Copies of this chain bind each other. A is one copy, B any other.
């Protein structure tokens, strides 16, 4: 991760894309969200969704995977340049999780994050607080997913 001091409001990072295959949608649903429209094409066709679509929690998990992979790549690049990546604190949670449209089997969703607020932490001066909005957009350009999170990110030593 970049250090808090190098992060600006409006900074945007493309996290990557994920294709939600029918097989993966069903596998997630069997374990965590066994509702008919996430498990069976025919049942999904008869539901309000009209076709097999991913559990909303599958979306959050797939997005998290891209975020982790992004941070690993970024850390590797920083290390290869001889820099030390900044530490990130444990996530306290999220706000305003929105499943704006269904993600159907075969859809590919591109995820991107944008910094919407930065401030030094009052209680923990070695950390900065960064608020980000992460957005998922499908292959038709439709926004399907949105979530806001707060991260604690290390500041450079004074």
Copies in the complex: 2
Interface residue ranges of A81-115 to B (CB < 8 Å): 89-99, 102
Interface residue ranges of A8-54 to B (CB < 8 Å): 28, 31-35, 48-49
How far does the alpha carbon of A92 sit from the alpha carbon of B49 in the complex, in Å? 13
How far does the alpha carbon of A85 sit from the alpha carbon of B56 in the complex, in Å? 23
Q: Is the CB of B31 within 8 A of A61?
A: yes
Q: Which among B68, B95, B97 is the interface contact of A34 at CB below 8 angstroms?
A: B68
- Given the complex, which residues of B lie within 8 Å of A99, measured CB to CB? 90-93
* Residues of A that sit less than 8 Å from B by CB: 28, 31-35, 48-49, 55-57, 60-62, 64-65, 68-69, 89-99, 102
